[in-house]
Structure 1
Amino acid sequence: MTDSHIARFFIDRYAQRGIILDDFQRQAMRALEAGHDVLVCAPTGSGKTVVAEYAVELALAREQRCIYTAPIKALSNQKFRDLCSRIGAEHVGLLTGDQTIRRHAPILVVTTEVLRNMLFVHDDMISDVGYVVLDEVHYLADPFRGPVWEEIILQLPAQVRLVSLSATIANVEEFSRWLTSVRGEVEVIVSQVRPVPLQQHVAVGHKLLPLYGSSGEVSAALRRADERMSERRSGRIGFSRRKRILDILGRHDLLPAIEFIFSRKGCDRAVSDLLEADITLTTSAQQKQIGQRLSTLRAALTAEDRRTVRFEYWAQAMRRGYCAHHAGIFPPLKELAEDLMEAGLLKLVYATGTLALGIDMPVRTVVLEETKRWNGADFVDLSATEYTQLIGRAGRRGRDQVGHAVVMHSSDLDVDYLADLGSGRVDPLLSAFFPSYNSVVNLLAYHDYAQARAIMGTSFAQFQRNADLGQMRGRIARLRARLAQLEESLQDMCEYGDVLDYIRARERGGRASKSARRRAKEAYRLRIIESWNGVRTGRVYAFACHGELDYAVVLSVGSKRLRIIDVSGALRWLYFDDLSSALREVADIDLPFGISVKDREVRRDIASRIDRLVRDRFEWGADADLEMSWDRFADVCDPAVHNHPVHQCPHRADHIEYAAQWVTLHRQLAHLEEQSESFDDSVAKEFDATVRVLGYLGYIQGIPKDTADFTDIAPRIGRVKLAGGAQLLRGVHSEADLLICLSLAQAQLRDMTPAEFAGVMSVFLADRRLGSGMPTRPTLRRAWRAIERDQEYLTAIEAQQGITRTPELFTGAMDAFCAWAEGAQLEHVLRAGNFVVGDFISANRRLIDLLGQVEMVEASEYLTSTAHQARLAITKWTWL
């Protein structure tokens, strides 16, 4: 069958389902037929996976293998089920580290980590691969797992066609240039069109108001409602407000929906409230279908396990048409919720943000309770990309004419910020790549030192740093020119002597005395008052409030406050008591008579003009001295300062004030020069540092001991020898890879039972959610103390080399996994460790994967046997 016949058959098959393929999908298909790599960037829900499915068709027709990757196991499992139903289960395999199904099938669905490991060990299977799909490739910006994507791209054989799928990214040109530099010709296909248009609303009270008006600005109706509601306290979002939203969705025919809450407890509470209120969203026929699907899962669980995972509770909610979706729920129940939603049987899902990662659960409407999320340390605003990805779930192709996004109004909601988020603006893709210990030893197993180092240098991280380096060097040149001008004026400023020489002496000098600092504080307060009294309208000033730099134009002057428009376009009062610096005049700005500063367009224009005036000053840090403490005017306790001629000048304080910009720019220049040096060949230097750690520990031989920089000598090093321990390190891909290898050599980790071994290995999951309680069993405590010593030793060596690789470990699950492997019931384990079932099962899956890695390495008979038995002992169900 020719490619044209394959394409026609493929297109007709979609047409039979009522779907006409878009131009971007057909363009990507033609590129694959022509033998090109493709990068497809399109909005969530636009049908990017059609391109991946065509790669599958081409692979089958050409008798090649296609590997389909996804960033998380849930996505891999979903795509596996989907492909089995489309092309037949006999053609599809699944490899996720903890699961292996039909490994030698022509179409393999794998997690990115599995593919990465296959490439590093030069798996024979790769020779048959014709196509690799990297789904959600923008995930390479993830700080923990992102480097895996880059390692795949760098290691993938040239003859394999790469299909990269991504949500829309701001710097697609930069990313595609890098792909071209490492892969050759790449066809970039970008689509901004959603097949199902999206309408965005804000729910205010009982009303649903459009976010945008006809002009593309915040709608007049929403603006009026927002001003009316801004003085009211919204309070905690509870049942009454969620019930109100549900009524609105029902009244406007906007179900099914996902409501993002960003809190596990919030999701569970929302479901509980609906159950207590006896709310049902499904028909009797739908309840029957849901019940049939629930019965299959019920039969697979014991009565005790059903009680432990609250099966009947969630089953009752599902039959009524709603559920929660987050990492704490029993995974089979969560996957069933996804299937029920996809089948149109669930009407409402309360979810945390993890659902937006790419799980195929399209709905008619997405509701956001707020535009902030918890990042593990604090509540932060959603980024443009996060918001776009969340609302991208709205609108089902072939079923909805329009998708809807609804944000619940609150007193904290900034409607202008929301309008900016919803405008389609997205964030740039930033590499999170670094050379791990496992990566380094695998590269050095097949390449000489210079080749391995060069591969690291072709990463996207270095590509971006090279671009930044060019901009940085331009800024350095401009800074030097500006400093030269300032130095010339400073040298001729004072008749007593060279002011610049005096300022340099102060920079080198010691700390001022207490009394001098007190006098300086009083003097600087007078300077602030003097600058305040000299303020004039129509002028742009730089100043600091509570230590933070700002720029604004003054509209009116009062005794204790100024009416200003700042660089963000905000109209506000600047109070004297809030100032922490003097006001520095920057420039005049022409304000036409009679303008209305209440007009947002006028304020936006003024803000734009301020921005143009201060952009270079801000980039150079010309006014950063305003953020510093007043004590820069204090007399420094140093003879070189006090004996300097300028120190006797009665205008000394004025000279110091004038020279403040030189001081700031000089420090900025030093910082940029240091940063520039660190960016130059930085990834390769990180590779060198990682190698030095491995060499110090004896994993690599033939590395120079006393050389800090390998740049010049790398070509002369040639092939290095990997010591025995490196074989184990090559097979362990984990955040704690080297620490695992060090610890497994300890006597305290030998002669353990498989159950104890499972408990000990759980600490290397580095999972904060498992807690930090100390194990009670003596064997586990001894093992932990040995691991802890290794951790301290390793992090100290890393610190000497200027790198951070080893993560923080958590001991809270050691007893639990030991008991679990010995046959304890799930209910007992969860209660003893105070674990949430979803967290424990997720950790269990990752522990199965880690034990499997140790087992496969075959470092010793003991490790192989013990890891094998431990893995079997914690694999309690088929879905684990």
Structure 2
Amino acid sequence: MSSPSERYAAARRRSRFTHLAEFTMHHPFELDDFQQVACEAVEEGKGALVAAPTGAGKTVVGEFAVHLALATGRKCFYTTPIKALSNQKYHDLAEAYGEANVGLLTGDSSVNGHAPVVVMTTEVLRNMLYADSPTLAGLGFTVMDEVHYLADRMRGAVWEEVILHLPQDVQVISLSATVSNAEEFGAWLDQVRGTTEVVVSEVRPVPLWQHMMVGTELFDLFGEGGAGARAGRSRGVNPELMARLRSARAADTGWHREDAGAPRGRRGRKRGRGGPSAREQRRGHAAGHRFEQPAGEGSRRPVGTPSRAQVVSTLDDAGLLPAIVFIFSRNGCDGAVRQLLATDTRLIDTAEGERIHHEVERRVLSVAPEDLGVLGYHDFVEGLTRGFAAHHAGMLPLFREIVEELFAAGRIQAVFATETLALGVNMPARTTVIEKMVKYNGETHADLTPAEYTQLTGRAGRRGIDVEGHAVVLAGPRVDPLQVAGLASTRTYPLRSSFRPSANMAVNLVDRMGRDEARHLLEESFAQFQADRAMAGHSHAVERNEEAMAGYAEAMSCHLGDFAEYAELRHQLTQAEKDAAKQRGAAKRAHVQRVLEELSVGDVIRVGSGWKAGRAVVITGTHGVSKRHDDVAVVNDSGRLRTMTADDLTEPPVVQGSIAIPPRFNPRKPKDRKDLAATMRAKVPDTDPPARRRGQDTTGTDEPGLGGAAGERIDSLRAALRRHPCHACPDREEHARWAVRLQQLKRETSGLRRKVARRTHTISRTFDRICSMLAEWGYLSEDGQEVTDAGRTLQRIYGEKDLLVAECLRQGVWRGLDASELAAVAGIVIHESRRGEVDVQPAMPTTRVQRAHELMLDLWSRIEDSEIEHDLPVTAQPDAGIAWMMHRWAAGARLEVVLRDSELSAGDFVRRAKQVVDLLGQIEKAAPHPAVQGTARKAMGLMLRGVVATDRLD
């Protein structure tokens, strides 16, 4: 019970913060301290930055801003990074405040857009600001949910644009996951937005226990009775866990054993519903959290990687469902559902499964029956009726929404998801499971970062439902408990700006405020703020280095002569020897390149070493496979399509023979590639004599040497070194060590000076270079101070290829296309092949699309040249990989036909189609020709059908 003084203080606060008192009266929980402080700051008219763990309840502060806006007759915009989160927040606020008071604006949904409270994606708000939309009138609050998304490389700049452009009388409430530099971000907000309260909380309302699963046994990750499991800063890993891992390795050096615990679940009881009581949970912790499963039939597999069915069964028996199992692979998520179906796993009772089945059948009525099979519907609905499902970006959006709703309502017990689920969408669980500690980051397979680990495990523990949350990492040959403990204990996740100006941003800024004021605004970006802070440290380092260099110079002085001169001779000799080695390497690479250039279609080659070692058939130059730069496209002996360049090879490939490429060979079809590989193996024996190599003299294989000049210089430097007086100094090597340190520090200091020079005014200098380029292209006036008519078109185009789209519209490249053809070329603009894919040039749907594509490539090439000339990031090449698909869909083809011979999943296709619709909407507004506007409008209507339109709210 509170004391009289505490009750008095609370009463005074209620009288001071009347709106907050009214808000809390209807709130289901008493506000935590950080929520109270942030809400009070908002009522006082300040901005707020709230950084707290996932599930801590920071959205309460955003909801209070909504309440305050309605109570004071102002507007509130609630922004999110993704449409799914916008849709979810719209439903939450509409339920709380009534549909008349809440609207939704995303790229493809518009509901009650003039309401006092509008939920929107951040891009929509950015576009409204540039257009001076009348909807901004009366805006008092803007909530930036998931504001840490400004670190996103592709879309993060939008957050900073919005923060910089919002009127100064608008209060900005920023909600962020826990970041270690929240104070730095808050200081920037304070600088550009006015007084901003920075509220940081690292306390989870539901404590989180960290575990590892070895086989089908659960262990606390940390020792000391689990204290570290909750606090995340234990001094040591659980010795029981380490002993169990050691015994497994000692018993079987192959890291294998017969796993116990066949999945169960057909016992007629309701499973995983509610879980253990608090008393049962405490008893489990006292026993060391070893929830062992009785022995049963099992398959031989790695100890650390039990089957997904075994994982779920173990969690179910321990009362740790519902759970999210993070699998960093779409195929892995779908495969997990199939595995549980194959093992007859059931996590909910039959009656509930039947109710779910009827609801799902009703929800998919908008999907054509013939499309359901293509979408994997039958496994999807069967899994849901048994209490589990997959969730990833490759699924139909409607399917993902169904999974989210059922899981959030506690009606299904296990979801197998990729990491995209960890962003924003409200799907908390009692337990999260991480299968592997490595994931593909778009370029390579990399270890999870502390921020990623915390984001994933942060979903565990439902406030008001669970006493504790649980995070489980599966043990395995490549999983180190010390690494997991380090990730669970780390609290440093800095927020880094990804802001950079674009062509669209430049013309909009110049139009709104003039070039000089725009430069000043960009100097206030968070990116420049961080750069300036970092450079302050570098400037101090330069000063320290200069003092140290003076000391090094004194330490290396020699009584026999000028040791600095002698050190310079040694440095020149070392560099000359390095240059000679580089020349030998360059000559060898040129030799490999020459051999690659002389290969012919159908040549069977053997690569002797490196990661591309093996045999392959050359296919470059046939069946739509075009040559990019210096690469050669091949089908290897396992039927995979690969490219190789001289950089991939340490020696030239050996030609063993040749085969004919079949006339109907399609490099996109796995079967055709495997057949070609089989033909190669059958017709060309795998021998590796000193065979013919086109253009190579096989009588002499000596490595290319150097000319005489390089050798003469090295000899001359060695002689000069021996003649120098300091060469005879008995302390020569001691002096040399100081000289090396001095030389290294000089290089470091020069680098720091260059870095300071580059990073000072970086953003505004980039802006100036963009403006210069746009002036040359006619989008700005010659002095770069005014927007031209062409620039008005560019102002309405948002995307990575904004200048290319604007130029296509300006040059009339897309005039004369019909609606399906315009959809196809829009697909060429938005599509990007996965990294590493071979450039297989597909056939075009019509000759007009073919001609438009050729003109687009010509424009892109000119734009790329201009960007390189102005030292700007280059625009990605237009990719025609989905042109046929978009044309077929717009022409009315069935989904099965559209996806035929494509590796694109249904969900990916829908996402690309929605991006095409979004671009067509921009073209409709921006095109200078009425005919193109009308065609774009018609194309949007053709695209928005069937599965592409299923998750639209309007």
In 1, are the aligned partners of 2:309 and 2:345 still within 8 Å (CA)?
Answer: no
- 2:418 is aligned with what amino acid? T
Q: Out of 323, 337, 341, which is 2:389 matched to?
A: 323
CA 106–510 in structure 1, closer or farther in 2 if over 3 Å, else same? same
Say which is worse superposed, 95-104 or 453-462, in terms of deviation. 95-104
What is the DSSP-based 3-state SS (H/G/I as helix, E as strand, rest coil) of the residue aligned with 2:94?
helix
Q: Out of 344, 355, 359, which is 2:410 matched to?
A: 344
1:11 aligns with 2:24: yes
Q: Out of 244, 255, 264, which is 2:310 matched to?
A: 244
1:646 aligns with 2:724: yes
Q: Which residue number in structure 1 is paired with residue 492 of structure 2?
A: 426
1:133 and 1:514 map into 2 onto residues whose CA distance is 57
Unpaired runs of at least 5, structure 1: 519-633, 705-719
2:579 and 2:550 map into 1 onto residues whose CA distance is 35
In 1, are the aligned partners of 2:827 and 2:916 still within 8 Å (CA)?
Answer: yes
1:63 Cα deviation after fit: 2.0
In 2, are the aligned partners of 1:483 and 1:662 still within 8 Å (CA)?
Answer: yes
What is the DSSP-based 3-state SS (H/G/I as helix, E as strand, rest coil) of the residue aligned with 2:209?
strand
Report the TM-score, using the length of structure 1 for normalisation.
Answer: 0.81
What is the DSSP-based 3-state SS (H/G/I as helix, E as strand, rest coil) of the residue aligned with 2:415?
strand
2:813 and 2:155 map into 1 onto residues whose CA distance is 31
2:455 and 2:61 map into 1 onto residues whose CA distance is 20
- 1:64 is aligned with what amino acid? R
1:223 and 1:511 map into 2 onto residues whose CA distance is 50
Say which is worse superposed, 337-346 or 214-223, in terms of deviation. 214-223
1:335 aligns with 2:404: no
Q: Report how many residues are paired.
A: 746
CA 295–241 in structure 1, closer or farther in 2 if over 3 Å, else same? closer
1:867 Cα deviation after fit: 1.5
Matched ranges for 1:49-60 at <5 A: 49-60=59-70
Matched ranges for 1:372-451 at <5 A: 372-451=438-517
Q: Which residue number in structure 2 is paired with residue 879 of structure 1?
A: 951
Say which is worse superposed, 51-60 or 497-506, in terms of deviation. 497-506
Q: Which residue number in structure 2 is paired with residue 475 of structure 1?
A: 541
In 1, are the aligned partners of 2:438 and 2:446 still within 8 Å (CA)?
Answer: yes
1:637 aligns with 2:647: no
CA 869–797 in structure 1, closer or farther in 2 if over 3 Å, else same? same
- 1:233 is aligned with what amino acid? W
Q: Which residue number in structure 2 is paired with residue 592 of structure 1?
A: none
1:290 Cα deviation after fit: 1.0
CA 510–698 in structure 1, closer or farther in 2 if over 3 Å, else same? farther
1:7 Cα deviation after fit: 2.7
In 1, are the aligned partners of 2:831 and 2:882 still within 8 Å (CA)?
Answer: no
Q: Which residue number in structure 1 is paired with residue 764 of structure 2?
A: 684
- 1:63 is aligned with what amino acid? G
Matched ranges for 1:422-821 at <5 A: 422-490=488-556, 492-493=557-558, 495=560, 497-505=561-569, 507=571, 512=576, 637=714, 642-643=719-720, 645-646=723-724, 649-650=727-728, 656=736, 658-703=738-783, 720-769=785-834, 773-776=841-844, 777-821=846-890
What is the DSSP-based 3-state SS (H/G/I as helix, E as strand, rest coil) of the residue aligned with 2:118?
strand
Matched ranges for 1:299-310 at <5 A: 299-310=365-376
1:114 and 1:447 map into 2 onto residues whose CA distance is 20
1:806 Cα deviation after fit: 1.6
Q: Which residue number in structure 1 is paired with residue 164 of structure 2?
A: 154
1:28 and 1:226 map into 2 onto residues whose CA distance is 46
CA 431–229 in structure 1, closer or farther in 2 if over 3 Å, else same? farther
1:220 Cα deviation after fit: 1.9
1:507 and 1:795 map into 2 onto residues whose CA distance is 40
In 1, are the aligned partners of 2:214 and 2:303 still within 8 Å (CA)?
Answer: no
Unpaired runs of at least 5, structure 2: 1-13, 229-233, 257-300, 583-710
1:841 Cα deviation after fit: 0.4
1:265 aligns with 2:331: yes
- 1:855 is aligned with what amino acid? E
Say which is worse superposed, 57-66 or 645-654, in terms of deviation. 645-654
1:647 Cα deviation after fit: 7.9
Report the TM-score, using the length of structure 2 for normalisation.
Answer: 0.75
Matched ranges for 1:64-79 at <5 A: 64-79=74-89
1:858 Cα deviation after fit: 5.0
2:752 and 2:519 map into 1 onto residues whose CA distance is 26
1:368 aligns with 2:381: no
1:5 Cα deviation after fit: 5.0
1:213 aligns with 2:218: no
What is the DSSP-based 3-state SS (H/G/I as helix, E as strand, rest coil) of the residue aligned with 1:323?
strand
2:765 and 2:49 map into 1 onto residues whose CA distance is 30
What is the DSSP-based 3-state SS (H/G/I as helix, E as strand, rest coil) of the residue aligned with 2:30?
coil
1:866 aligns with 2:935: yes
1:249 Cα deviation after fit: 0.4
Say which is worse superposed, 662-671 or 382-391, in terms of deviation. 662-671
- 1:412 is aligned with what amino acid? R
2:884 and 2:375 map into 1 onto residues whose CA distance is 20
In 2, are the aligned partners of 1:135 and 1:166 still within 8 Å (CA)?
Answer: yes
In 2, are the aligned partners of 1:25 and 1:51 still within 8 Å (CA)?
Answer: yes
2:413 and 2:244 map into 1 onto residues whose CA distance is 29
1:205 Cα deviation after fit: 2.2
CA 9–185 in structure 1, closer or farther in 2 if over 3 Å, else same? same
What is the DSSP-based 3-state SS (H/G/I as helix, E as strand, rest coil) of the residue aligned with 2:724?
helix
In 1, are the aligned partners of 2:553 and 2:738 still within 8 Å (CA)?
Answer: no
1:32 Cα deviation after fit: 1.3
CA 313–22 in structure 1, closer or farther in 2 if over 3 Å, else same? same
Deviations, residues 126-154 of structure 1 (Å, cap 9, x unaligned): 12211111000011111111111111110
What is the DSSP-based 3-state SS (H/G/I as helix, E as strand, rest coil) of the residue aligned with 1:722?
coil
1:729 and 1:52 map into 2 onto residues whose CA distance is 34
- 1:814 is aligned with what amino acid? A
Q: Which residue number in structure 1 is paired with residue 270 of structure 2?
A: none
Deviations, residues 239-290 of structure 1 (Å, cap 9, x unaligned): 9532322222011100000000101111111110111111111112321331
1:501 and 1:427 map into 2 onto residues whose CA distance is 47
CA 456–805 in structure 1, closer or farther in 2 if over 3 Å, else same? farther
In 1, are the aligned partners of 2:129 and 2:162 still within 8 Å (CA)?
Answer: yes
1:755 and 1:40 map into 2 onto residues whose CA distance is 47
1:75 Cα deviation after fit: 0.8
What is the DSSP-based 3-state SS (H/G/I as helix, E as strand, rest coil) of the residue aligned with 1:431?
coil
- 1:817 is aligned with what amino acid? M
In 2, are the aligned partners of 1:502 and 1:641 still within 8 Å (CA)?
Answer: no
- 1:637 is aligned with what amino acid? I
CA 642–728 in structure 1, closer or farther in 2 if over 3 Å, else same? farther
In 2, are the aligned partners of 1:39 and 1:165 still within 8 Å (CA)?
Answer: yes
What is the DSSP-based 3-state SS (H/G/I as helix, E as strand, rest coil) of the residue aligned with 2:714?
coil
Deviations, residues 433-488 of structure 1 (Å, cap 9, x unaligned): 10111111111002122110010000001101111111111111122222222223
1:487 and 1:104 map into 2 onto residues whose CA distance is 71
1:238 and 1:324 map into 2 onto residues whose CA distance is 22
- 2:365 is aligned with what amino acid? A
Say which is worse superposed, 638-647 or 349-358, in terms of deviation. 638-647
CA 397–743 in structure 1, closer or farther in 2 if over 3 Å, else same? same
1:297 aligns with 2:373: no
CA 669–820 in structure 1, closer or farther in 2 if over 3 Å, else same? same
In 2, are the aligned partners of 1:370 and 1:407 still within 8 Å (CA)?
Answer: yes
Say which is worse superposed, 237-246 or 662-671, in terms of deviation. 237-246
Say which is worse superposed, 640-649 or 106-115, in terms of deviation. 640-649
Q: Out of 900, 904, 917, which is 1:848 matched to?
A: 917
In 1, are the aligned partners of 2:514 and 2:786 still within 8 Å (CA)?
Answer: no
1:808 Cα deviation after fit: 4.0
Deviations, residues 631-686 of structure 1 (Å, cap 9, x unaligned): xxx99538577546528825677765553222222221221111110011111111
In 2, are the aligned partners of 1:856 and 1:864 still within 8 Å (CA)?
Answer: yes
